[in-house]
Amino acid sequence: MSSKKTVITTCTRDCPNACGLLATVEDGRLTGLAGNPDHPLTRGVACVKAARYVKRVYNPERVTHPMLRRGGRWVRAGWDEVLDLVAERLKTFASESGTESILYYQGYGERTALKLLNKYFFNLFGGVTTLRGSLCGGTGQASQNLDLGQRISHDPLDHSHSQAMILWARNPVSTNISLTAIARDIRGRGGSVLLIDPVRSKSAVLADHHIAPRPGGDVFLAMAAAKLVLAAGAEDREFLARHAVGVEAYLDILSGFSVDDLCRRAGVSRGEAELLAETLMARKPASILLGWGLHRHEYAHYGIRAIDALAAICGNLGVPGGGVSQGFEEYGPYDQRLWGDDLNPPRRTLLLPVIGREILAATDPPIRMIYVTAANPLCMAPNTAAVAEAFGKAEFVVYSGHTMDDTSDFAHVFLPATTFLEETDVMASYGHNYVGPVNPAIAPVGQCKSEFRMFYELAARFPFADRFRKSEEQWLRELCAPVWEQGGDPDTLTKEAFRLDAPMVPYADKVFPTPSGKFQFLTDFDPSHIPDPDPDYPYRLLTIAPHGYICSERTMADHEPLPVVRLAASEAARRGLEHGRPVMVKSPLGQAMATLRVEEGLRPDVLAADRGGWTKAGHGLNRLTRDLASRVGNGTPYYETAVTVCPVPKDGPAGRRILVVQHSDRAPGGDFVKGLARLGALPITVAPARGDALPASPEGFDALVVLGGPQHAYDDAASPHFPALLDLMRAFDAARRPVAGICLGAQLLARAHGGRTWPMGRLEFGFTALAATAAGKADPVLGAALPLPRLMEFHEDSFDLPPGAVPLVTGQDCPSQCFRVGAASYGFQFHLEVDSVIVSDWIKLFRKGDMDTYAPYREVYGETYFAELGADLPVLVAESQEFCRRVVRTWLALT
């Protein structure tokens, strides 16, 4: 009998919304995620990222078994084996070099109560090197603490009292979706919504107007608006006289600039500054919501404090519907004594914004071991080259995660973590005042464990085991003691969200927890710290939160061939750059290739892109970003990265036109074609089976790729385009232009050069161990791509090598696996192009498809085979993709 249930839970990912969710489970399998209409704030709202998360839980790239790296390759292992090894390494490094030779790198991929115990484990161990600073919000919090004494934001429900809302670098449509209804309500009541952002984000649909200051120019815009308010005599004189200090000093700062000068420095028109000032004067109260992009400058505190000052001048502090709201304390509801920081003397910390250089510079002791949870530093931390060098020098790296991402490439142990849908926990938010239940909707997938269970079992291997030995429920009762003291109930919190005892309107009594008890104005400002653009690097690279993903939480198959960068149409025309073509983005640190999107209306000093793409997928724009810390709060000034954009150099493979012949929608070019694009080549695909005509000659193309398909290479009657394709393959070779044939394409290549193709009478399916011949090891294409991983096979035909062909790779069951023939033609019987989506589709097709051709072979491959294949698939695909990248690079170099 089938079963269906709905489980109440809370999204725990790196997002301020922390949406209440309902998980639908059918027969033990998660089938849907939707917003919980009973959540008092999010009220049934859930973003597109939540809906997509079901696929992440069951994604074929998700690692579901512990892995150890042996001989340079990943192998499956048992939990006892990997935890024994991790415990032994911890003890060895601590004994030889002290506990500070171990770095615990805890990220913010998930922010729940039980995550506090990760650090508790390391403090019980004796205290290790940890991180200080942040990649995101530290600057904003520290800046507002200077003004307000303690940053306290208005409850989002209080914005219902606002007559205006200023979304200052805030993009709720993509990153804080519950605010969208509030913004629409303000406009529906006749109020006004302004979007202030250098880039026109998706939240422009919520706004009456969009003001686009230059990156880092927010301080000047806020000052210009303040001068206009003061000139109109609309300041809140009582607040300034009774509840603020530093007023005269700030007014002196403003007196040093004219409104027009400030507007010029801000990169806005005077009319736009007047619009902001008029909105704040005419539409009271006005709520100002700060986004995280404001933090991403070295002197970000100038802008944040100037915005706070603007609100103070206008009388918008401490009033319902007003305020300057930014974030909330996601760890505030928990008993933080359970971090265990008092168990040891203060231990070494490394500055996160410059973590690569910090690790490399660490001595006495050097960092020998790194343990990473809830983070992907090789993708998300700035200056990727320095981070890679640092991680590469560590003797032992432990990585807890979901997929074989950039950081996993540097790990020696991979610990497969559960998702929040497989965990018991409690979630607080950095976007509102509610804590919510995290209930397991499904059992852990495969052998995945929660981080709590990992550290619980790891602790059992140490003398302090008894101090860790409590269940999740017992720990949560202790961790959430402050919640219970505020009236929360452990049983009720498993069913519904609980609002913390926090003010709807902070500072309503106009008393601020500063030394003076008053609001503190900015009194020290040097405009030279916000210089004009460098003519050699005239664009600020703004890596913005994507709409469809959270940070690097994606899979290899999710990536397009290249990241997309957006440039103003005027700048593209001035530089002779074309929409949709590859370009080179350069900074003083390095360069990266990208696809150009030309946009009307974009600021001419901005280059915008989504953040979070993996480096090994050809994305990873943190290769370009400077690693430095903000002057206040130790934040990460990603937006201090200045770049230029230019055409891709013509002296390499970039711009090469590659003809790709595709025979089936189920056999696409995959990573082979993506790899060509990532090197700047221009693949042009034709599909004869869909009626596309083949070119008559190689003219206009630099190379040819012929893909696989279900057709038989010897059956011209079923595929009448084959004779013309054979002629074309011979013509490319005669013109000494490289050819690559994959599976069916390899068989056709053999036939084109005189080899016989024939049915094997059996099927070769799955990832197979192969061997390079002596010629293969010396081959300019294959030899440079070795070693061979296990590679995907899916074929029932084979071929004899044509005259003069050189065998490069052989297999036990099917000897003819890879060959070279003619000038530069390569046949690959195996599918080096596959990604996880392609293989998963083939597995489904083979197991349950309606293609009778595979029916005789299904009984050979049972459910046990496919279960094992699924468990190994993340590693098999990752290794195959790395091999494919190397082959594509060397093959394209022949053009």
Both tokens of 830, joined, read 């195996």
Q: Which of 1.10.1740.10, 2.60.120.260, 3.40.50.880, 1.10.3720.10 would CATH assign to domain 657-892? A: 3.40.50.880
DSSP states along 662-718: ---TTS--HHHHHHHHHTT-EEEEE-GGGTPPPPSSSTT-SEEEE---SS-TT-TTT
Are 764 and 802 contacting, i.e. CB atoms less than 8 angstroms apart?
no
User: Above 60 in pLDDT, residue 797?
Assistant: yes
> In the chain, which segments carry CATH 3.30.200.210?
4-57
Report the first-to-last Cα separation within the chain, whole angstroms. 61
Q: Is 645 helix (H, G, I), strand (E, B) or coil?
A: strand
Does residue 188 sit in helix, strand or coil?
A: helix
| CATH 2.40.40.20 domain range(s) in the chain | 533-647
**Token pair for residue 672?**
């082979």
* Mean pLDDT of the 385-394 span: 98
Q: What pLDDT is recorded for position 181?
A: 96
Give 349-379 pLDDT, tens digit per residue: 999 999 999 999 999 999 999 999 999 999 9
State the fold for domain 533-647.
Answer: Barwin-like endoglucanases (2.40.40)
pLDDT of residue 491: 96
The verdict on domain 4-57 having CATH code 3.90.209.20 is: no
Q: Which percentage of the chain shows pLDDT scores above 70? A: 99
Band of residue 856 on the pLDDT scale cut at 50, 70, 90: confident
Return the H-helix or E-strand segment holding 873. Answer: helix 863-892
- Residue whose tokens read 């032994």: 88
Cα separation, 478 vs 40, in Å, equals 25
Residue 580 DSSP label: T
pLDDT at position 137, please? 82
> Tell me: the pLDDT tens digits for 209-229?
999 999 999 999 999 999 999
What is each CA distance from 180 to 18, 38, 41, 68, 187, in whole angstroms?
Answer: 15, 18, 12, 45, 11
Over the chain, what is the mean pLDDT?
96
**Helix, strand, coil: what percent of the chain each, to 5?**
35, 20, 40
Separation of alpha carbons 54 and 31, rounded Å = 7
CATH of domain 154-325: 3.40.228.10
pLDDT tens for 493-526 read 999 999 999 999 999 999 999 999 999 999 999 9
CA distances from 382 to 377, 534, 698 (A): 8, 20, 44
Burial of 718 (0-12, 13-18, 19+ CB in 10 A): exposed
Token pair of 193 as six digits: 């919504």
Q: Residue 863 above 90 pLDDT? A: no
pLDDT for 852: 62
pLDDT tens for residues 615-652?
Answer: 999 999 999 999 999 999 999 999 999 999 999 988 77
- Cis amide bond preceding 683, omega within 30: no
Tokens of 442: 């499904």
Per-residue model confidence (pLDDT) at position 777 = 98
Nearest Cα to Cα of residue 283 among 306, 239, 315, 305: 315
**Percentage, residues of the chain above pLDDT 90:** 94
pLDDT band of residue 257 (cuts 50, 70, 90) is: very high
Mean pLDDT on 236-261: 98
Residue with tokens 């990169």: 267
On the question of a cis peptide bond just before residue 346, with omega within 30 degrees of 0, the verdict is no
C-beta separation of 166 from 287 below 8 A: yes
- Asked if residue 606 lies in contact with residue 198, where contact means CB atoms within 8 angstroms, the answer is yes
| DSSP code string of 115-162 | GHHHHHHHHHHT--BEEES-SSSHHHHHHHHHHHSS--PPPGGGGGG-
**pLDDT (tens digit per residue) in 414-458:** 999 999 999 999 999 999 999 999 999 999 999 999 999 999 999
Triad 375, 633, 292: Cα angle to 5°: 60
Per-residue pLDDT averaged across 295-315, rounded? 97
Q: Domain 67-136+333-486 classified CATH 3.30.70.60?
A: no
Positive or negative, the CA dihedral 764, 767, 771, 772 is positive
pTM, to two decimals:
0.96
Are 561 and 531 within 8 A, CB to CB? no
Give the 3-state secondary structure of 78-110: CHHHHHHHHHHHHHHHHHHHCHHHEEEEECCCE
Report whether pLDDT(851) > 70: no
Q: Is residue 853's pLDDT more than 70?
A: no
- Which two tokens mark 184? 């629409």
Say yes or no to pLDDT of 562 above 60.
yes
Peptide bond into 787 cis (omega under 30): yes
Where do the CATH 3.40.50.740 domains begin and end in the chain? 67-136+333-486
pLDDT level of residue 845 (50, 70, 90 thresholds): confident
Burial of 473 (0-12, 13-18, 19+ CB in 10 A): exposed
